[in-house]
Structure 1
Amino acid sequence: MDIAEHRQAWEILSHVPEGQKNQYLVQAILKVQERDYLEKVIRETVRDELKSGRMTHPEVPTTDTIPDQMLDFLSKLDDNV
């Protein structure tokens, strides 16, 4: 295991209880596929909106706080990963 990523993956997998490793790997693979698909769809949607000119530049908040809507959205993404 000369590759750092392999060592890191092995460390994570070694903490998964016996009998659950296959299911863990299946879920991990499917989540990566889902995330890649969602990223592709979001990129295409944003690109299409920018090309159409329908998307306008939102007002930039004048404070360093993150709007509650954005925090809720990010929280939901984190729950799905």
Structure 2
Amino acid sequence: MKRPVFSFRPNRKDRNHRKAWSILEKVPEGEKSQFLVDAILFYDQADALEQLIRKSVREELKCGDMRQTVATAEPEELPDQVLDFISMLQEE
């Protein structure tokens, strides 16, 4: 039984195809098959992860447990050394 063969012919007019081809050209010979396998599996897992996140957010919104926290930052005082330095620059 022969191994399946995949052929990729990028459309030079398509910017995404050109970018994909540029990335694929940088992969060393002998590693391109594994690179494509990893890319396909990563894409597939990313979709599953997105669905899991969407489901989790929906559940949290149903329960109403999402709390909004607002951080109020108090302004920090500048050290005297910094103020002196700025004053010195203004005098010049």
Choose which of 42, 49, 54 in structure 2 pairs with 1:31.
Answer: 42
Unaligned segments of structure 2, at least 5 residues: 1-11, 74-92
The CA deviation at 1:54 is 2.1
Q: Secondary structure at the match of 2:72?
A: coil
Q: Does 1:19 align with 2:21?
A: no
Q: Which has the higher helix share?
A: 1
Higher relative contact order (CA 8 A, sep 6+): 1
Partner deviation per Cα, 1:36-63 (whole Å, 9 max, x = no partner): 1111101110111111212222x12234
Which structure has the larger Rg?
A: 2
CA RMSD of aligned residues (A): 1.1
**Hey, what's the Cα distance between the residues in 1 that align with 2:51 and 2:25?**
32
Q: Secondary structure at the match of 1:2?
A: coil
Residue of structure 1 equivalent to 2:72: 62
TM-score normalised by L of structure 2: 0.62
Q: Percent identical across equivalent pairs?
A: 50
Q: Which 4+ runs in 1 deviate beyond 6 A?
A: none
**Hey, what's the Cα distance between the residues in 2 that align with 1:35 and 1:42?**
10
Q: Size of the alignment, in residue pairs?
A: 62
TM-score normalised by L of structure 1: 0.70
